[in-house]
Amino acid sequence: MILLGTAAGGGCPQWNCACVLCTAGLPPRTQDCAAISAGDGWYLLNCSPDIRAQILGTPELRAGPGPREIPLRGVLLTDAELDHTLGLLMLRESGGLPVWAPPAVLTALSPFSSVVDSYGGWTWSSVVDLPGLRVEVLPVSDKRPKYASASDGPWVVAYRISDPATGGVLVYAPCLRSWPAGFDEFVADASLVLLDGTFYAPDEMAGVGGPDQLAMGHLPITAGLPRVAGRRWAFTHVNNTNPVLDPASPEHAAVLAAGATLPPDGSRFTL
| pLDDT tens, residue by residue, 86-108 | 999 999 999 999 999 999 999 99
Residue 225 lies in a domain: yes
Look at residues 185, 120, 131, 175 and name the one whose alpha carbon lies nearest to residue 153.
175
Domain harbouring 220, CATH code: 3.60.15.10
Give the domain range for residue 175: 2-257
166-174, long-range: CB within 8 Å, 24+ apart, which pairs? Answer: 166/271, 167/191, 168/192, 168/270, 168/271, 169/271, 170/1, 170/36, 170/194, 170/269, 170/271, 172/34, 172/45, 172/78, 173/78, 173/140, 174/32, 174/46, 174/78, 174/84, 174/236, 174/237
Q: What pLDDT digit, counting tens, does each position of 217-247 carry?
A: 789 999 988 888 778 799 999 999 999 999 9
Q: What is the largest CA-CA distance in the chain?
A: 51
Residue 232: the pLDDT is 79
Residue 245 lies in a domain: yes
Q: Is 85 or 152 the better-scoring residue by pLDDT?
A: 85
Residue 97: the pLDDT is 97
Q: What pLDDT digit, counting tens, does each position of 114-172 carry?
A: 999 999 889 999 999 999 999 999 999 999 999 998 888 899 999 999 999 999 999 99
Residue 106 lies in a domain: yes
If one counts the domains in the chain, the total is 1
Residue 264 lies in a domain: no
Residue 164 lies in a domain: yes
Q: What pLDDT digit, counting tens, does each position of 124-136 carry?
A: 999 999 999 999 9
Residue 87 lies in a domain: yes
Residue 263 lies in a domain: no
Residue 256 above 60 pLDDT? Answer: yes
Residue 83 above 70 pLDDT? Answer: yes
Average pLDDT, the chain: 93
Residue 118: the pLDDT is 93
Residue 271 lies in a domain: no
Q: What pLDDT digit, counting tens, does each position of 32-66 carry?
A: 999 999 888 999 999 999 999 999 999 999 999 99
